[in-house]
């Protein structure tokens, strides 16, 4: 991604929920900072409106610039059009018109230009949970209209956890960001890397992962957050100085499933009946996902259900399965296969 940034290209991280997008953004920024970039990470999660978006950007610069740049920004900040600040920051005037809010946002979006003018700094900006700029204020057109002029002053990486909305923002011809950032996929972690990492973590803490490693890797299926959760549960179940085995693994898996059950139930509760049927079929890797046994209209409604589940990030395309999809969260998949108990 840094290579993309160097060539003044923008990137977007396309990966399902909890697949390590934020972790990768932060690691990339840290690496870029080592290579001399000025870096800024902005999280738009829960943004309410244009003013909120503007003040999140401003706060990110205020908190993340270091050394002399920080001093410079402390002064510069006071020359910007005020936006309302929660908790009353240095300026607490409220911007009341849409135009005013748009201008305030424009000024903050163009901060990389100010940095670049100042001493030729190149800025790498990460916009996380970017889909919320759409939910909050349809601000994507304003953002695009400004950052398209940033040229070599700034490169952008976008990430978001709502798969469908991110696709809508970047892959829909009618949207301002259409084809504006190169998609970078985040594949599942390889069993080799994960296995080595987990085995090592056990050893340095006086335990051994033993024959529990195989079933752990199978269950985790390369899902970064789930792999870490499973490894943590296994580690907790393994007494010091002991080699874990299938029995310890079974206890760890039970704990992990218990820990994720409420979440699984919440997801299930919000699905339509067709979506539930598709989700279970995908979890069980059943053939004939779009079987028209119940009539052609059933096939069509299942197809729409699959598309909705994919947009929601619950399932993702996978050519190695009979359904063409897999359930993103392996613990949700276990719960679905395992009878969907409520406790």
Ligand X SMILES: Nc1ncnc2c1ncn2[C@@H]1O[C@H](COP(=O)(O)OP(=O)(O)OP(=O)(O)O)[C@@H](O)[C@H]1O
Which residues contact Mg ion by CB under 5 A? 21-22
- Nearest approach in angstroms of CB 21 to Mg ion is 5
Over the window 256 to 275, marking each residue x when it contacts ligand X by CB under 6 A and - when it does not, the resulting string is: --------------------
CA distance 279 to 336: 8
Query: Interaction with ligand X in 4-43: which residues (CB under 6 A)?
Result: 15, 17-23
Q: Which does 51 bind (CB under 5 to 8 A by kind): ligand X, Mg ion, none?
A: none
Q: Which does 23 bind (CB under 5 to 8 A by kind): ligand X, Mg ion, none?
A: ligand X
Query: Interaction with ligand X in 198-237: which residues (CB under 6 A)?
Result: 224-225, 228
Over the window 91 to 130, marking each residue x when it contacts ligand X by CB under 6 A and - when it does not, the resulting string is: ----------------------------------------
Query: Interaction with ligand X in 145-184: which residues (CB under 6 A)?
Result: 161
- Nearest approach in angstroms of CB 181 to ligand X is 17
For ligand X, the closer of residues 115 and 257 by Cβ is 257
- Nearest residue to ligand X, by Cβ distance, number only: 20
- Nearest approach in angstroms of CB 15 to ligand X is 6
Q: Which does 40 bind (CB under 5 to 8 A by kind): ligand X, Mg ion, none?
A: none
Q: Which does 20 bind (CB under 5 to 8 A by kind): Mg ion, ligand X, none?
A: ligand X
Give the interface with ligand X as residue ranges (CB under 6 A). 15, 17-23, 161, 189, 224-225, 228
């Amino acid at each position: 991604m840094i290579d993309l940034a160097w060539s003044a290209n923008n990137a977007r991280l396309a990966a399902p929920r909890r697949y390590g997008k934020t972790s990768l953004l932060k690691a990339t920024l840290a690496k870029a900072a080592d290579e001399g970039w000025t870096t800024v990470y902005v999280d738009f999660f829960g943004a309410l409106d244009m003013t909120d978006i503007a003040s999140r950007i401003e706060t990110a610069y205020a908190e993340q610039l270091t050394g002399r740049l920080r001093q410079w920004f402390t002064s510069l900040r006071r020359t910007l059009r005020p936006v309302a600040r929660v908790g009353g920051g240095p300026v607490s005037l409220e911007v009341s018109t849409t135009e005013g809010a748009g201008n305030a946002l424009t000024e903050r979006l163009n901060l990389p230009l100010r940095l670049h003018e100042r001493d030729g700094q190149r800025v790498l900006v990460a916009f996380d949970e970017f889909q919320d700029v759409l939910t909050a204020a349809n601000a994507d057109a304003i953002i695009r209209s400004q950052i398209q002029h940033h040229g070599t002053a700034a490169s952008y990486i976008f990430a978001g956890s709502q798969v469908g909305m991110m696709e809508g923002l970047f892959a829909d011809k009618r949207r301002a960001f259409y084809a504006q950032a190169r998609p970078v996929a985040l594949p599942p972690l390889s069993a080799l890397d994960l296995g080595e990492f987990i085995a090592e973590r056990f050893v340095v803490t006086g335990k051994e992962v033993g024959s529990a490693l195989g079933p752990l890797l199978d269950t985790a299926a390369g899902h970064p957050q789930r792999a870490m959760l499973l490894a943590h549960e296994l580690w907790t179940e393994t007494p010091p100085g002991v080699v874990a085995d299938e029995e310890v693994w079974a206890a760890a898996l039970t704990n992990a499933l218990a820990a994720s059950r409420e979440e699984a139930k919440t997801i299930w509760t919000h699905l339509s009946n067709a979506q539930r049927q598709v989700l279970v079929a995908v979890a069980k890797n059943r053939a004939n996902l779009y079987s028209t046994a119940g009539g052609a209209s059933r096939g069509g409604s299942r197809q729409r259900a699959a598309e909705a589940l994919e947009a929601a990030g619950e399932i993702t395309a996978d050519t190695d399965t009979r359904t063409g999809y897999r359930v993103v969260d392996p613990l949700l998949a276990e719960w679905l296969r395992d009878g969907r108990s409520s406790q």
